[in-house]
A and B are shown apart, each in its own frame.
Chain A
Amino acid sequence: EAGVVQSPRYKIIEKKQPVAFWCNPISGHNTLYWYRQNLGQGPELLIRYENEEAVDDSQLPKDRFSAERLKGVDSTLKIQPAELGDSAVYLCASSPPEVNTEAFFGQGTRLTVV
């Protein structure tokens, strides 16, 4: 069974440019998370979806970040415009229904803003 798939693996952009990340969770997993991991730190939750509904986006900087999960499966995370401080690894994770103890992570997208 395929794990959580993220693309791209790496992205380098200039500041003020837009960028988007894509995540395909494990089939059947209704909960999807986006985390940001800064260098030398643990991941921090940006947004959590239950199916297509964002149930926790309190940590998402809404002035420049947006996310969507239109059909309750794939999700995209967008930053517009990107700032130097957005350089980080963006991790997507998913968990099956009623078993939120087991979050499976993708390999992440490493974003570098120059």
Chain B
Amino acid sequence: GEDVEQSLFLSVREGDSSVINCTYTDSSSTYLYWYKQEPGAGLQLLTYIFSNMDMKQDQRLTVLLNKKDKHLSLRIADTQTGDSAIYFCAEDNNTDKLIFGTGTRLQVFP
């Protein structure tokens, strides 16, 4: 089945690290993605990881993939107020169709 789950909210202090978690069900997914959505805007692709990797780092972003537990996380180092947004993880279940989670609203306070 297709089901991607995320916690709804995360609140962090500016300068701290944020960790957003996601679980998925389809082990056949080729890629897993993290998208960011700011108010009134479309989705912006932040990063993606190939399913045979367990970590990918891109500047302040670190993606960890535990394929055995079907768990994906996004760590944002030195979180800034501009990082406040909704973050969606998504899997492709080995097709060209993205299955999105419900999104995690990240709030960064000073």
Chain A residues with CB under 8 Å of chain B are: 4, 31, 40-45, 48, 55-56, 91, 93, 95, 100-108
- A-B contact number at CB 8 A: 50
| B100 at the binding interface (Cβ < 8 Å) | yes
Partner of B97, one of A45, A101, A106, A108: A45
Query: Distance in Å from the Cβ of B20 to the closest Cβ of chain A?
Result: 13
Count of B interface residues, CB-CB < 8 Å: 22
Partner of A45, one of B43, B98, B102: B98
Residues of B within 8 A of A45 (CB): 97-98
Can you show 23 pairs from A to B with CB atoms below 8 A apart?
A41-B102, A41-B103, A42-B100, A42-B101, A42-B102, A43-B88, A43-B100, A45-B98, A48-B96, A55-B96, A56-B95, A56-B97, A91-B42, A93-B43, A101-B48, A101-B92, A104-B45, A105-B42, A105-B43, A106-B42, A107-B40, A107-B42, A108-B42
Residues of A within 8 A of B40 (CB): 107
CB-nearest residue of chain A to B101? A42
Query: Distance in Å from the Cβ of B103 to the closest Cβ of chain A?
Result: 6
> In the complex, A41 Cα to B100 Cα: how many Å?
9
Contact B97 A48 (CB under 8 A): yes
Query: Distance in Å from the Cβ of B63 to the closest Cβ of chain A?
Result: 14
